Amino acid sequence: MKSIVLAGGCFWGVEAYFDQLKGISETSVGYVDGDKKNPTYHEVCNGLASHAEACKVIYDENVISLEGVLEHFFRIMNPFSLNKQGNDYGNQYRSGIYLDDMSEKPLVEAYMKSYFGKNYDRVVVKVKENKDYALAEDNHQKYLKKNPFGYCHVNLGLAKRDEKK
């Protein structure tokens, strides 16, 4: 199994989307790329911690490749939007790809250059090492499953063409 941490706006929608895909064995939501250990949702949302909301995705690379994960990620977020996705705005909604294995960085960057072509220079998605992913509180895990009418900037229907089962 491989893992990757994806920050693409509100973490509830990113998690709900990836939970629908074949080859995804586990997801969780949390905070990454910040200035303190184990921040809270309150701290992140109020600027008391500098983290981004993110979703950790554990996937079976025999079923879905890193490129497949990236394709899905870019399907559900705006890579040109700085600190904003959907109706959510602020530093905690910045976009990023956080890698456990930095040897994958050239692959991610090559994929992005190919995927975005002449628009690559406009992409604001950072590709960095995952140094500090911290789980969010329990009430945020599988939030949209527990609250099916909760707000979500992600079009969850986009995953239907690649349904899990």
**SS3 labels along 87-133:** CEECHHHCEEEEECCHHHHHHHHHHHHHHHHHHHHHCCCEEEECCCC
- Residue 129's DSSP bridge partners are 99
In-domain check, residue 164: no
Q: Closest Cα to residue 130, out of 30, 60, 39?
A: 30
pTM above 0.75, yes or no: yes
- Residue 5's DSSP bridge partners are 56, 98
Q: How many CB atoms lie within 10 A of CB 5?
A: 24
Q: Which tens digits make up the pLDDT trace of 29-49?
A: 999 999 999 999 999 999 999
Count how many domains the chain has: 1
Query: How far is residue 164 from each of residues 21, 45, 57, 68, 86, measured CA to CA in Å?
Result: 5, 32, 14, 14, 25
In-domain check, residue 165: no
90, 44 contact by CB (below 8 A): no
**DSSP strand E in the chain: where?**
2-8, 24-32, 52-59, 84-85, 88-89, 95-99, 126-129, 134-135
Compute CA 94 distance to the chain's CA centroid, rounded to the nearest angstrom. 10
In-domain check, residue 133: yes
Q: Closest Cα to residue 77, out of 53, 100, 46?
A: 53
In-domain check, residue 50: yes
Q: In tens digits, what is the pLDDT along the chain, a chain of 165 residues?
A: 999 999 999 999 999 999 999 999 999 999 999 999 999 999 999 999 999 999 999 999 999 999 999 999 999 999 999 999 999 999 999 999 999 999 999 999 999 999 999 999 999 999 999 999 999 999 999 999 999 888 888 989 898 765 544
CATH code, domain with 35: 3.30.1060.10
Range of the structural domain that residue 14 is part of:
2-158
Options 10, 45, 55, 152, the catalytic residue: 10
In-domain check, residue 54: yes
10 is catalytic: yes
